[in-house]
């Protein structure tokens, strides 16, 4: 994701450009948007596509509207699904990026 045009978050830019493991069904993933992140699970794949389903993210800290956020994740069989294509700039889907290998949720309260 290009910083400043596709994402407003340095962390999302770093996650989108990092080396990711080879995707496998059941592996955790993170959907990257402008400044937020949403946890997901890989549910299907082909050599050039990965389909993820958004997980349930439950806040576990008591920090309120802060940068320090901790979450517990639960697979949601009825969550929204997204199919990402592998491009020369990484995994992309309708303005979103994808980081494979870890579930991370973050809500940017400044927007």
Would you write out the chain's pLDDT as a tens digit for each of its 111 residues?
666 666 677 777 677 777 788 999 999 999 998 889 999 999 999 989 999 999 999 999 999 888 899 999 999 999 999 999 998 888 899 889 999 999 999 998 887
Separation of alpha carbons 111 and 35, rounded Å: 9
Q: Angle 110-78-54 (CA atoms, 0-180°, nearest 5)?
A: 35
Residue by residue, DSSP assigns 17-40 as HS--PPP-TT-EEEEE-SS-EEEE
Model confidence, pTM? 0.87
CB burial of 39-73 (b: ≥16 within 10 Å; e: otherwise) equals bbbbbebeeeebbbbbbebeeeeeeeeeeebebeb
pLDDT at 49: 96
């Amino acid at each position: 994701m290009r910083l400043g045009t596709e994402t407003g978050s340095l962390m999302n830019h770093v996650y989108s450009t990092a080396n990711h493991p080879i995707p496998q069904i059941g592996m955790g993933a993170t959907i990257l948007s402008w400044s937020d992140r949403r946890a997901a699970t890989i549910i299907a794949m082909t050599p050039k596509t990965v389909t993820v389903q958004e997980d349930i993210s439950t806040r576990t800290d008591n920090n309120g509207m802060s940068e320090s956020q901790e979450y517990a994740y639960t697979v949601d069989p009825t969550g929204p699904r997204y199919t990402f294509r592998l491009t020369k700039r990484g995994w992309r889907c309708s303005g979103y990026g994808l980081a494979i290998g870890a579930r991370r949720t973050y809500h940017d309260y400044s927007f």
